[in-house]
Amino acid sequence: MHKTIGGKEAWLDIRKSLKEIKAGLKWYLFILIGVPAVMFLGIIALNGGTLPSFHGLISSFFIGYLIQFVIIFLFCGPLSEELGWRGFALTRMQSRFGALKASLLMGVLWALWHLPHFITNTQRGGPGTSSSIFYINLPIFIVLCIAISIIFTWVYNHTQGSLFFATLLHTSINGLSIIQSHLSGPNLTTTDLPFLIGFWGLALLILITTSGQLGYNSSSK
């Protein structure tokens, strides 16, 4: 897609963006520690402000988590998705609509792109599941994707349009999401509401501190 529409130069820019790993230690800390912390705070908030109970969470999980993180980064979606969402679409959408409008639209499109997941166990669907999957879980997921999209745009704009950091962020979110299956209590496991709470808290903070600009400088694009 990149090469077809933008030519060889566009594809070279994408390859350069994937190699952009020097945005600074603070972005590694934010993505690898801050983002999981935000997700966990959302879990705590939905659990009434107390630590949740876990089941089946053993020490080997954390060793396996590191291995899964690498596998997810390379083979399970983040890399291929970010080539399209941030590498191709966001760059063009920001120049046309600005950072905030582009992020809102991207979030909706991104959520709907995952719609087939709601008929599989990926999003708690599949044979015999309730229609609530669509009228409760899907709206929650759409609103969640909008919040995450805002965060992605902010990170992307502050890391010189690095697809490496976008993919790392995507992997960090997907990787920590695994812990939800080890939580006890239906309010924490049946929807994405705990993550929605955490990510919208962060998204609102970013929107306020950047006045909705999300680090985008149209004059430099």
pLDDT of residue 66: 82
Domain count of the chain? 1
Whether 188 is covered by a domain: the verdict is yes
Residues in the chain predicted with pLDDT less than 70, given as ranges, are 1-12, 58-60, 126, 128, 219-221
pLDDT at 18: 81
Position 178: which residue type? Answer: I
Confirm whether 55 is domain-assigned.
no
Is-above-0.75 flag for pTM?
Answer: yes
60 in any annotated domain: no
The whole-number pLDDT of residue 115 equals 87
d(CA 217, CA 143): 26
Buried b / exposed e over 182-200, threshold 16 CB at 10 Å, is ebeeeebeebbbbbbbbbb
Structural domain contains residue 117: yes
38 part of a folded domain: no
In a domain, 134, yes or no: yes
Q: Is 119 exposed, middle or buried (0-12, 13-18, 19+ CB in 10 A)?
A: middle
C-alpha–C-alpha distance, residues 88 and 110, integer Å: 13
User: Do the domain assignments include residue 101?
Assistant: yes
Within a domain: 141: yes
pLDDT of residue 2: 46
Tokens of 25: 């230690």
| Cα separation, 16 vs 31, whole angstroms | 21
Q: Which domain holds residue 119?
A: 77-221
Query: Residues 6 or more apart from 7 whose CB is under 8 A from it?
Result: none
Scan for tokens 């690498």, then name that residue.
Answer: 70
